[in-house]
């Protein structure tokens, strides 16, 4: 039995929205718009592509493509910025240590497993350029291969690896402080 676009989109809309929230660093209105634009453009192609591709991955790729196209359009409207150049990313664009991020030193120590705080996740996303957010979402959160993600992002595998160095921003923001066994505070991020 053939699945309708509405059935397909209904199964994947939550994941798309979570991705859109990350890509837009927690801003709900642009995330809503991104999902709407993605689904609208996907609807037009859904019947044509049918079962020729992995549909969930195709839809995730469309979300990223729409996000990047709108990021470029917004950067053109705002004048030139370093947030997204639209060109292939080289390994020189990100330092070996990765980008830096300010982390409050007043973080509460943790003694066990932790949940990811959405505000910390979105706060980390704000510190990354759009292309790096897209790379991290595809590779780390959606488990795409480097080759597949690089293709959607319009860069080579080396450029993708450079973008993935921004994962340091996520780790710094998300990994909690912990109390050491001898009772002293210990920062797990080092």
Q: Are residues 45 and 97 in the same domain?
A: no
The answer to whether 165 and 98 have CB atoms below 8 angstroms apart is: yes
Could you tell me which residue, 115 or 51, shows the higher pLDDT?
A: 115
pLDDT for 55 beyond 50: yes
The stretches of 50-117 forming alpha helices (DSSP H) are 55-77
Q: Are residues 39 and 70 in the same domain?
A: yes
Long-range pairs for 153-157: beta carbons < 8 A, 24 or more residues apart: 153/64, 153/68, 154/68, 154/88, 155/88, 155/89, 155/131, 156/88
Non-local CB neighbours of 152 within 8 Å, separated by 6+ positions: 61, 64, 65, 134, 138, 144
Q: How confident is the model at residue 118 (pLDDT cuts 50, 70, 90)?
A: confident
- Taking the model in full, what pTM does it have? 0.69
- 8-state DSSP, 24: T
Domain enclosing residue 108, as ranges: 91-178
Residue 158 is assigned to a structural domain of this protein = yes
| Structural tokens at position 124 | 């980390």
Closest CA to 152 of 68, 83, 38: 68
Q: How confident is the model at residue 108 (pLDDT cuts 50, 70, 90)?
A: low
Residue 185 is assigned to a structural domain of this protein = no
Q: Mean pLDDT over residues 10-21, rounded? A: 93
Q: Are residues 108 and 157 in the same domain?
A: yes
Residue 30 is assigned to a structural domain of this protein = yes
- Residue 5: the pLDDT is 86
* Bridge partners of residue 185, in order along the sequence: 179
Phi, psi dihedral angles at 42 (to 5 degrees): -70, -35
């Amino acid at each position: 039995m053939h699945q309708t676009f509405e059935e397909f989109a209904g199964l994947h809309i939550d994941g798309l929205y979570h991705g859109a929230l990350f890509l837009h660093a927690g801003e709900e209105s642009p995330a809503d718009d991104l999902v709407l634009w993605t689904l609208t453009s996907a609807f037009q192609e859904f019947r044509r592509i049918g079962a020729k591709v992995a549909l969930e991955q195709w839809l995730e790729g469309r979300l990223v493509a729409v996000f990047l196209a709108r990021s470029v359009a917004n950067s053109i409207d705002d004048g030139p910025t370093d947030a997204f150049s639209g060109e292939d990313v080289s390994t020189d664009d990100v330092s070996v240590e990765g980008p830096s991020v300010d982390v409050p030193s007043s973080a509460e120590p943790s003694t066990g497993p932790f949940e990811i705080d959405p505000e910390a996740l979105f706060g980390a996303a704000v510190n990354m350029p759009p292309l790096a957010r897209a790379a991290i979402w595809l590779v780390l959160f959606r488990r795409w291969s480097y080759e597949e993600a690089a293709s959607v992002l319009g860069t080579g595998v080396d450029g993708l690896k450079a973008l993935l160095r921004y994962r340091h921003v996520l780790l710094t923001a998300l990994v909690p402080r912990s109390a050491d066994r001898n009772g002293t505070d210990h920062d797990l991020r080092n």
